[in-house]
Amino acid sequence: MGDPTLSPSSTPPAAPGHLHEHVITSLRDMVLRGELVAGRKVPEAMLCARLGISRTPLREALKVLAAEGFVALRPNRGTVVVPIDPEGLAQLFEVKGALERLIGLCLPDRIDVDALARIEALHGEARAAMEAGDMHSYTRGNHAFHEALAAGTRNDALMQTYSGLQQKILRARYAVNAQPERLRRSMADHERIMAMLRAGAALDLARCLEEHSRHTGQAMLRQLRRQETAKE
Amino acid sequence: MGDPTLSPSSTPPAAPGHLHEHVITSLRDMVLRGELVAGRKVPEAMLCARLGISRTPLREALKVLAAEGFVALRPNRGTVVVPIDPEGLAQLFEVKGALERLIGLCLPDRIDVDALARIEALHGEARAAMEAGDMHSYTRGNHAFHEALAAGTRNDALMQTYSGLQQKILRARYAVNAQPERLRRSMADHERIMAMLRAGAALDLARCLEEHSRHTGQAMLRQLRRQETAKE
DNA sequence: CGAGGATAAAATGAATTCAGAAAATGTTCA
DNA sequence: TGAACATTTTCTGAATTCATTTTATCCTCG
């Protein structure tokens, strides 16, 4: 199969300044969305052209991605996009479960009305997306919903750690085709989560969140394994 | 006040090749050990001389450290070492507690004899260091002990996440003067942890580890706050 | 004597350049 | 014909260089 056909001239020369964050974000998005194919070498020259930068800032960004675990730098042999393996995904969910529990335990004590309102709003959006059958929109809404829950704890370390895991998981989410049945079950979990949150029941909320994470993880794993075996 | 007086000529010109990891590790160590003072600008030129490299690889490493949260890159205004604030430290311990619990829950099921032997050995070393009153050695031993527990779960994501938190906490640990009384209590916790681990009591082990983390965190916070107020 | 502003110095961000290593290509010889 | 070696080409890692921005210094003017 051929290259992903990235058009080299999609961005104008780009104004000088500090484009760090932008370059990192762009690259990470490309990895997450599967535009940079797992297992393949990162096309340095093309990305430079694509982003309108030289190799220096690109390599700086690749170093950061490597530290985050999205790519691997093999000395003198180029950079490769690390593949998603089911074992690693299961491990990510295991850690995420522990954090979800912590979120549930902290949230009722610390959440304020604004945060609760935002969570309610995001929950509504996700439900609307599900009812409309808009998978892509649901994925984004679901992600935002859980991030908002984490944010409600007012713990930056927790948020950052949680987001890091979510991003890695998001990569797999893009790679697997979500099942409509799964969406409905996920939404049912969300309804229960909201009920516990409104009731301020920390322990129950913690259990719900942990369980929800486990369910999601198991479903994704099954689907990923199914797709992998189907490819052979 | 003057510079930390870092001798520019401590390393020879350095052979060419891939020194990435080494540069990152060196810089991180300097931050952790307080050699690069919190709040102050990172002396780029001096570090280049010190490490025998040019600005390009140094800046790549600084980007990684920035992503890890040890330094902050202010656009066009230089890089600064981020200060340790008690609030952030408390948050780190909160997250660590959740991971400790997970470690405790998983460990009895997954640990093998080799890992258990290594943990026992590290536990012995830490105790010896405590009895000898060697603070520095105890700190290292304690760190290695907990890392080994995490490693015993055979979950890479958990290990990486845990190590990341531990490193940030380690920075504060270097900054506060440990109290001998604290050391003894810590060691008592470790004895209980080992007992639970040998007994294979997952839930109890989880509780012990979580509690131990909370105690350690509270003690460090008190000490940090005490030192901060003493400085004024 | 002090505030405001112009000029000089420095430091930052990024492109370019250069040396060394790996892969690809071509050639020779069994 | 095909395997082993030599050569060329490409690519990687890092130093150097360059433009821009910021900071410091100094001069003028109130």
How distant is C1' of D15 from CA of B55, in Å? 8
Q: Which residue of A has its CA nearest to B58?
A: A60
More confident residue, B9 or A64: A64
Q: Is residue A10 part of a domain?
A: no
pLDDT (0 to 100) of residue A4: 36
Distance CA B222, CA B206 (A): 24
Domain boundary among B65, B81, B97: B81
Q: Is A102 at the interface with chain B, CB within 8 A?
A: yes
pLDDT (0 to 100) of residue B8: 38
Confidence band for A19, pLDDT divided at 50, 70 and 90: low
Contacts with B165 from chain A: Cβ below 8 Å: 157, 161
In B9-88, where do the E strands start and end? 71-74, 78-81
Domain boundary among B63, B81, B99: B81
B94 with A106: Cβ contact below 8 A: yes
For residue B36, give the CATH number of its domain.
Answer: 1.10.10.10
Number of structural domains found in chain B: 2
Q: Which nucleotides of C are covered by protein (CB under 7 A)?
A: 11-17, 20-23
Question: Do the Cβ atoms of B39 and B81 come closer than 8 Å?
Answer: yes
Question: Do the Cβ atoms of A65 and A24 come closer than 8 Å?
Answer: yes
pLDDT (0 to 100) of residue B110: 96
> Which 3 state secondary structure label does DSSP give B153?
coil
pLDDT (0 to 100) of residue B19: 65
Say whether both B108 and B218 belong to one domain. yes
- Answer yes or no: is pLDDT of A214 > 90: yes
Say whether both A192 and A133 belong to one domain. yes
Say whether both B69 and B175 belong to one domain. no
B59 touches strand C (CB under 7 A): yes
Residue found under tokens 């706050």: B225
* Among B residues 169-228, those touching chain A with beta carbons less than 8 Å apart: none
Which residue, among B151, B149, B155, has the nearest Cα to B120 in the 3D structure? B149
pLDDT for A167-208, tens place per residue? 999 999 999 988 889 999 999 999 999 999 999 999 999 999
Say whether both A142 and A193 belong to one domain. yes
Interface contacts A/B by beta carbons within 8 Å: 86
Say whether both B54 and B154 belong to one domain. no
Say whether both B62 and B100 belong to one domain. no
pLDDT (0 to 100) of residue A63: 95
Question: What is the domain range of residue A126?
Answer: 86-230
Say whether both B90 and B49 belong to one domain. no
- Answer yes or no: is pLDDT of A108 > 60: yes
Q: Is residue A134 part of a domain?
A: yes
* DSSP for chain A, written as a single string: -------S-SS-S--SS--HHHHHHHHHHHHHTTSS-TTSBP-HHHHHHHHT--HHHHHHHHHHHHHHTSEEEETTTEEEEPPP-HHHHHHHHHHHHHHHHHHHHHHHHH--HHHHHHHHHHHHHHHHHHHHT-HHHHHHHHHHHHHHHHHHTT-HHHHHHHHHHHHHHHHHHHHS---HHHHHHHHHHHHHHHHHHHHT-HHHHHHHHHHHHHHHHHHHHHHHHHHHHHT-
- Answer yes or no: is pLDDT of A2 > 70: no
Nucleotide whose C1' lies closest to the alpha carbon of residue B41: C11
For residue A200, give the CATH number of its domain.
Answer: 1.20.120.530
Say whether both B144 and B179 belong to one domain. yes
Q: Is B102 at the interface with chain A, CB within 8 A?
A: yes
Low pLDDT (below 70) residues in chain B: 1-19
pLDDT (0 to 100) of residue B21: 86
Between CA B34 and CA B41, with CA B40 as vertex, the angle to 5 degrees is 115
Nucleotide whose C1' lies closest to the alpha carbon of residue B59: C13
Q: Looking at residues A60-66, what average pLDDT do you find?
A: 95
Q: Is A16 at the interface with chain B, CB within 8 A?
A: no
Say whether both A61 and A109 belong to one domain. no
B102 with A106: Cβ contact below 8 A: no
Say whether both A139 and A216 belong to one domain. yes
Say whether both B173 and B61 belong to one domain. no
Say whether both A196 and A104 belong to one domain. yes
Distance CA B59, CA B54 (A): 9
How distant is C1' of D4 from CA of B13, in Å? 38
- Answer yes or no: is pLDDT of A17 > 60: no
Which residue, among B88, B157, B91, has the nearest Cα to A96 in the 3D structure? B157
Between CA A106 and CA A116, with CA A110 as vertex, the angle to 5 degrees is 105
Domain boundary among A61, A81, A101: A81
Q: Is residue B8 part of a domain?
A: no
pLDDT (0 to 100) of residue A205: 98
Q: Looking at residues A69-79, what average pLDDT do you find?
A: 94
